[in-house]
Copies of this chain bind each other. A is one copy, B any other.
Amino acid sequence: MSFSYQFPRPALTVDCVIFGLDNEGLMVLLIKRGLDPFRGRWALPGGFVHIDETVDEAARRELREETGLQRVFLEQLYTLGDLDRDPRERVVTIGYYALINLHDHRLKAASDAANAAWFDIVDLPRLAFDHDAIIEMALKRLKSKVRYCPIGFELLPRKFTLSQLQRMYETVLARPLDKRNFRKKVLQLDMLEELDEVEQDVAHRAARLYRFNEAKYVKATEQGFNFEI
């Protein structure tokens, strides 16, 4: 079966930059290509937009296929449509980025897990297509957006310490933050819920746990507070 149109059409794909945070740093999930072009080269998870799904659904499907995760933070980035970005034929791709909580979820061993791996954002391999440009845009967006939107929590476990939170910001922004100023700032924003729990199994004084509270955040921003780290 084939589908005919009066004029030629570009193929339409989505590609996802999936960010995760571990002790090493900010990581990106890549897939090793099994087919030409760029066989053996690492690439972003992605694929064609089906005719019966929205572009957001296509991105979410790719994300689920690679990680098994649903309900994660996913946002459209930018659409790349240069003529020769795919050597086979004209392909326009819609770039997305996602933020994954690597602590609370065990990622499913994807059928092609052998071909998937996490790479530190500061030490990426050579990539297929123009995927390096997509990752660069995603990182830039994440760095700027994390400063004025509470999206960084998506990278952390649901319960976290203030030190973990600070480390997350330091890792994403790639610069050190002052501990006292950081705590003053996030606590006065009044969007964290202080829990009656401390972290367990640590070889030093245990830190108090906090949780992001959406309702408090909305209330605080309505009252004119600027979230800004």
Contact = CB atoms under 8 A, between A and B. Distances in A.
A51 B9 contact: yes
A40 interface: no
Interface string A201-229: 00000000000000000000000000000
B3 A4 contact: yes
Task: Report the contact-size class of chain A (Cβ under 8 Å from the partner).
Answer: 20 to 34
A76 interface: yes
Copies of the protein in its oligomer = 2
A43 to B, nearest CB: 20
A7 B48 contact: yes
A192 interface: no
Interface in A48-92: 48-49, 51-56, 58, 76, 78-83, 90, 92
A148 B80 CA distance: 25
A81 B56 contact: yes
Contact of A9 (B3, B52, B53, B58): B3
A63 B90 CA distance: 23
Interface in A19-60: 48-49, 51-56, 58
Nearest to A56: B81
A116 B83 CA distance: 31
Interface of A: 1-12, 48-49, 51-56, 58, 76, 78-83, 90, 92, 94
